[in-house]
Structure 1
């Protein structure tokens, strides 16, 4: 007889009991929302009835008067007349709240499949965790519709009774082979504008989203919102016209072009003094631009273009609410002109509105609820002055995109500003070799490593930001102590810095070069030398060895290794940091590299060259520098993605060397210098530690004529009497 052990019964007994069976009527009750017809209630009304929003640490009922300009756009997502709704506006204006309000309406009032596309998967997960999940948890009616199974609430999907809400990101498979009643695209201009393989793109996210709602016919809708992020397309032939007063300058891509294809709605206020309507824009803010940014912002007022009356910021909330009640609000372009040739502006439900399937809206940052005028003016004036000083408009453009909510038009590139070789040669300065201008406070050497030579330039800087390229030469011969420095006939071999580490030693004597200050009795040595870390194969390792050798000699604070970072979206201009990772899986280096946003710095270099005359912030060239080297400053052209070489151009070292010199000057703090109390390396005169006085030869003292005496015939004191 075999005895069976019952040891396994214990674990089985600890399994929790199964849930009770669900009855047919319970299944039917959960399925009834699928049969519920859409409620005749607007998105805004549903939000006020069901949605809770955070406010000052509490969850309160949604209030349409907080951001009244979002009422009409979100309500139009339920319109049978329009297939798409486009909203262009500044950041923090309530655009994201429209997503929650519209999503809630699709759950409780008009069940149907909804998809929300974010910039990236990470941004989508953050939105679910920080916005969607808390809103559901604090809105009882919304929370009651959410499924109770584990897979009903994830970062990628929310299953409600009667509908599903999908959260995705802009890739082709997310917007393909799916049927949705509503697709919402958020931060559209930060998405890839072409989806699918590079050689055969499938289309834009907006175009592909329109295909997903086709099966729902007039009930389908695409909601797209974003701040602008693409510059004005200067190649377009657009001009402002009274026949199209709301049309924005066409951009190179993005949501502005979608807006221009729609009804072109703008938000209007009614002037309390003259009762005329006008659009509140940043351009109509009245302030003194000569004041400090904070003072100018505090005094900013909105000026009516009809009667000239001024309104302080405290009236903004009142005027926005009045616009919601009919004294202003959204006005769209119509198909008709008045007797003066101006476009007639109409409401959204007017039959004369432009014939287009897209209801489009553009909100200026001056009318946004969460954008105080003093902050707008302060940021604008701060970045404008920084742009005038550094000639780098990256941060200035952000003010237009994120704060004002319009596309940015560049003042003009180097061709438009007349920057040509003849112009540079004409403005070149007469200066002797090995000499620097009288305003020089410090000199920076720049080195670009090539396959068989070092390209070197010397740039003199003044305390007011002016600078001049005073020297340019190439080093081609290996140092005498290098391996195989000379052949059998005594001829020096060419430099090979990638193969021979000791070849870099030809750079060390450059730190001792002295440049005479014009009109002064002293000269000055370079305070720093910056060397390109990238170069021929093997150079990076040898460059690190060279820097470590100089550090052991006490020159580590005067020698920098630089590395370029391309693109205009690099957050900083110059920063000194250790690499986070090595290339090709190698271990990261333990040295600090001078990182340069090269495209932003090239903007500054070319803008400074465009001054054409000596003065603060100008960049000049010494006349003795060769013509071909000066022409290298114009070797590249600006594109939307960065600078690239012009067709047929082979060498661009001079431009790269100028960028390196500016990077070192900014790293040392030239933009923060106090001319009244500069650091010692920027002091004028012999108080500068890099200044050297001329060595004057003392004249030999003249010997006075000695008196002549007769030569004695003998030694008389030896004679005895």
Structure 2
């Protein structure tokens, strides 16, 4: 006779189902959790390691709140405390159905395998409560002896509908990739717990990852978060608590605020120059002191652990006194919301925090790439990012005041090569010729060498003139670009008679129906003449989060719904226009020469500057809200994309490629076939070098 269970084991199994909840703090019950790492080693969850997580975790057991929202940096212990430790409390002290909502289905499966399963296996108290039946221990659904179920979910209507769940634990919410917006997901989670009334709980935690476009925004209260969507918006719906710790020098309390303001860093303009010229690690070490706003003393990182252990949370409207007591009333809210600055994170030093910020600034200063800056703001500083282009409003008059004096169509000193970009309209070609080179700052700068519009074709109108251009219809109209742009040479401004060719031309081939077909035919005709190597067709990439550029060979020959004429034989540059325009906007705002600086000649019309500032940076990206002419802005963005494709930011200017060498060493610069150089102007403009460049 086979025995499947003893009477004792049956009694113990049933007893687990009827055991009353243990009335202890959540942080006490969470000590049953053994945090396991990839090597199999485990250590008990210790609230003293991240003391700032104790109150948020204990608040998840309060019947006064329906949700806890936590915003904080990566590696601060927020997920271990609010998700893993909360689950340990539920399993051992207050069994109830729970769901962990991850970024995506794949992330949910990975979290179950690498975090949940390992923690249960490493924690004797959790392991003993897991159902002994093999079919009760699955990747996305686990059952325990008490009858408690633990689901793994992701942001989907089907996952978050039709269930009664005691705890919905949402992690990394600002990076959700499902078919639900964060607000929708949070609302559905609250509905799932509503059956349990005051006992139900929703937890949402994340580092901020959404941008905001109001560069002029300033908080009206020290506890106010930026006007961004996602976890920042959820935080704003709560009582807005911040972490206050004592200054070891004067004893006064101050906020461990998100971002980098506490490090007394120089102005951004100065930083952008210093991170290029100076040793970033030494610079970070110099600025890694956190300054007390009361006494002004720069505090070393070694004081952080003690400051955290003496820290307290205070809500908006409350006052923290030097002895740690908190007075004042919290505003009434059904959500307890917390925001922890990156300076308080237990697992990152202040020097590392500042160094990552400086490294990201160096990347931006040398390449125009903003993604590292956004990342370090989000995961290290625990603050939403505002793009450089949105930090101030572009003033066309200020740009025009910087105009310099050199002849139209002449290549000014400093330019190493020319890049032309063409915007194809229904009845014209709009052309910009931009020079790239090394200015007096010793950094990569830009010069506007020429700007013009082609309006007439070479087709006779029958009365001695020529018909207007019609690029979508006539291939021969594109031939105007060969002489006027692709093979054109510009005289140097040194009066020697030498000329410089256009090194690369980018042609926007989107727009009116028929344009793409003619653009492809034109490029193929250039290939026959061996003029194609320096010409690329360019188009905006619909993926806003994609790379700055990618080269593709589109082929629609097998698609009946496409008639573009592409056969996989013509290269195309897909440009992330939004991010490239961020670079342009930030560069044209530079008031002094330096990395990315734009030199404008005094012959440019006022309309050019108006076009350069026609668009506004919104949460959706760059938008032409007033429907104004914006060709100059588009063409500058295309030119930045061409420069990246040519790997210009990576050039070693002490040993550049021949086409980017100085004029006397550049084989592309020659005197034959040269148009006479314009005579030098009597009046010269003195360029003032930044006082910060020598630092």
TM-score normalised over the length of structure 2:
0.81
Work out whether 1:401 is the aligned partner of 2:378: yes
Counterpart contact for 2:156–2:178, Cα < 8 Å: no
2:156 alignment partner, one of 157, 171, 177: 171
Q: CA RMSD in A?
A: 4.0
1:232 CA drift (Å): 5.1
State the match for 2:680 in structure 1. none
Matches of residues 528-543 of structure 1 in structure 2 within 5 Å?
528-537=504-513, 539-540=515-516, 542-543=518-519
Residue 564 of structure 1 contacts residue 596 of structure 1 at CA under 8 Å; is this kept in 2?
yes
Tell me what 1:223 maps to: 203
Q: Deviations over 1:52-76 (max 9, x none)?
A: 4227652233333333322221222
1:102 and 1:554 map into 2 onto residues whose CA distance is: 67
**Counterpart in the other structure of 1:718:** none
The structure 2 residue matched to 1:598, chosen from 577, 591, 597, is 577
CA positional deviation for 1:364: 1.3
- The residue that corresponds to 2:120 in the other structure is 136
Q: Which moved more, 1:403-412 or 1:386-395?
A: 386-395
1:374 equivalenced with 2:356 (yes/no): no
- After superposition, the Cα gap between the structure-2 partners of 1:678 and 1:491, relative to the gap in structure 1 and judged at 3 Å, is same
Q: 1:192 to 1:575 in 2, by over 3 A?
A: closer
Shift in alpha-carbon separation, 1:214–1:688, aligned structure 2, 3 A: same
* 1:516 corresponding residue in structure 2: 491
Name the residue aligned to 1:65: 48
| Deviations 1:630-649, CA, capped at 9 Å, x for gaps | 53323322111211222343
Match of 1:677 among 647, 655, 660: 655
Rg larger in structure: 1
Assess if the C-alpha contact under 8 Å between 1:455 and 1:653 holds in 2. yes
Separation in structure 1 between the aligned mates of residue 237 and residue 399 of structure 2, nearest angstrom:
44
Aligned residues: 651
Tell whether the 8 Å contact from 2:389 to 2:582 is kept in structure 1 after alignment.
Answer: no
Structure 1 residues 455 and 225, CA gap change in structure 2 (3 angstroms): same
Residue equivalent to 1:38:
21
User: Residues 500 and 664 of structure 1: is their aligned pair in 2 closer, same or farther, counting only changes over 3 Å?
Assistant: same
CA deviations over 1:636-663 (Å, ceiling 9, x no partner)? 22111211222343x4333221111122
Q: Tell whether the 8 Å contact from 1:90 to 1:402 is kept in structure 2 after alignment.
A: yes
Q: 1:657 aligns with which of 617, 631, 635?
A: 635
Q: Assess if the C-alpha contact under 8 Å between 2:244 and 2:311 holds in 1.
A: yes
Measured in 2, the distance between the counterparts of 1:456 and 1:364 equals 47
SS of 1:526's equivalent in the other structure is: strand
Q: Does 1:298 align with 2:285?
A: yes
Given candidates 73, 76, 84, the residue that maps to 1:90 is: 73
Would you say the 8 A contact 1:567–1:641 is kept in 2?
no
Cα displacement (A) at 1:403: 0.8
CA positional deviation for 1:253: 1.9
Q: Does 1:467 align with 2:452?
A: no
In the TM superposition, what is the alpha-carbon distance from 1:295 to its structure 2 partner?
A: 1.0
Q: 2:248·2:303 contact (CA, 8 Å) conserved in 1?
A: no
Indicate which of 289, 295, 312 corresponds to 1:330: 312
Aligned 1:312-461 pairs, distance under 5 A: 312-320=300-308, 323=309, 328-333=310-315, 346=325, 352-388=329-365, 393-409=370-386, 413=390, 416-420=392-396, 422-423=397-398, 427-461=402-436
Greater RCO between the two (CA within 8 Å, min separation 6)?
2
- Give the TM-score taking structure 1 as reference length: 0.79
Instruction: State the partner residue of 1:667.
Output: 645
CA distance in 1, matches of 2:19, 2:399: 75
For 2:674 and 2:574, how far apart are their aligned partners in 1?
A: 43
In the alignment, which residue of structure 2 is the partner of 1:189?
174
Partner of 1:711: none
**What's the secondary structure of 2:162's corresponding residue?**
coil
Unpaired stretches in structure 1, ≥5 consecutive residues: 1-17, 197-201, 480-484, 698-721
CA spacing shift, 1:374–1:73, aligned 2, 3 Å: same
Report the Cα offset of residue 216 of structure 1: 1.6
Q: Which runs of 5+ in 2 are unaligned?
A: 676-695
Partners of 1:84 and 1:221 within 8 A in 2: yes
Of 64-73 and 107-116, deviating more is 64-73
Shift of 1:695: 6.6
Q: Give distance in 2, aligned partners of 1:211 and 1:236.
A: 37
Determine helix, strand or coil for the equivalent of 1:693: coil
Matched, 1:562 2:541: no
Q: Distance in 1 between matches of 2:72 and 2:567?
A: 42
